[in-house]
Amino acid sequence: MEKFKTLTGIAAPLPLINIDTDMLIPKQFLKTIKRTGLGVHLFSEMRYDDNGKEIKEFVLNKVSYREAEIIVAGDNFGCGSSREHAPWALLDFGIKVVISSSFADIFYNNCFKNGILPIIVNENIRDILLKDAENGSNARLTVDLENQQIIRPDGSEVSFEVDRYKKHCLIEGLDDIALTLDNEEKIDIFESEITQKFPWL
């Protein structure tokens, strides 16, 4: 997993509430277990018409937001089913930060496990950041995870809270597998001892 410390990128405004995981990645694209190739299907039903043509009005289809790395969204982002393909699709598109006033718990935790930083701010701050994000290609925010700050285009700073352990994992680029491998030596010792004590296992 890629390490996350500081990101400066274009923020796309998506002020919808209750954006669920089926909106993020519709069920017909869940056949793969690969983490790559899903970005093209992110928000598929909002990005494309029935003929597969881009809907110009959708924010991520606009020229100013095609390279967005941050989404500022409405309440209850990531609700619905617990599909891990949702953060996979966001990351494959290039989204590394999602800012909202609230997240569904499973989606929130899945983000950290896949290298995405979900940031919770109060509604007033969220609305201010949405206004910033409406400035197109000038809608650049800096997210400083180490100091837990969002730096707005005007230079003002917004603080945010994040779980200390989750923060450590993102900064060090540690997913569940990497965390397990951190204890590889202890695991090897344990397995060796178990084999000696219970050779029939």
198 part of a folded domain: no
Say if residue 106 is exposed, middle or buried (CB neighbours under 10 Å; 0-12, 13-18, 19+).
middle
82 part of a folded domain: yes
182 part of a folded domain: no
Cα–Cα dist 134/196, whole Å: 64
Cα–Cα dist 79/17, whole Å: 10
Look up the CATH number of the domain holding residue 66: 3.20.19.10
pLDDT at 184 over 80: no
Cα–Cα dist 9/140, whole Å: 5
pTM: 0.87
97 part of a folded domain: yes
Give the model's confidence band at 172: pLDDT under 50 very low, under 70 low, under 90 confident, else very high: very high
Give the model's confidence band at 182: pLDDT under 50 very low, under 70 low, under 90 confident, else very high: low
- Dihedral angle sign, alpha carbons of residues 99, 92, 55, 7: positive
pLDDT, one tens digit per residue, over 105-135 is 999 999 999 999 999 999 999 999 999 999 9
Q: How many CA atoms lie within 13 A of 148 on its CB side?
A: 12
181 part of a folded domain: no
pLDDT at 141 over 70: yes
The length of the chain in residues reads 201
Pairing of strands 97-100, 70-73: parallel
Q: Which range marks the domain in which residue 134 is found?
A: 6-176
CB 155 within 8 A of CB 140: no
| β strands within the chain, DSSP E | 6-14, 70-73, 97-100, 117-120, 140-144, 149-151, 157-159
94 part of a folded domain: yes
Tokens of 14: 């998506």
Count of structural domains, the chain: 1
Q: Is 62 helix (H, G, I), strand (E, B) or coil?
A: coil
Mean model confidence pLDDT for the chain: 92
Cα–Cα dist 45/108, whole Å: 22
187 part of a folded domain: no
pLDDT at 201 over 70: no
More confident residue, 69 or 181: 69
The one-letter amino acid code at 106 reads I
Distance, first Cα to last Cα, the chain: 34
CB 39 within 8 A of CB 89: yes
pLDDT at 183 over 70: no
More confident residue, 33 or 156: 156
pLDDT at 97 over 90: yes
172 part of a folded domain: yes
For a pLDDT cut of 90, what percent of the chain falls above it?
76
Cα–Cα dist 45/59, whole Å: 13
pLDDT at 192 over 80: no
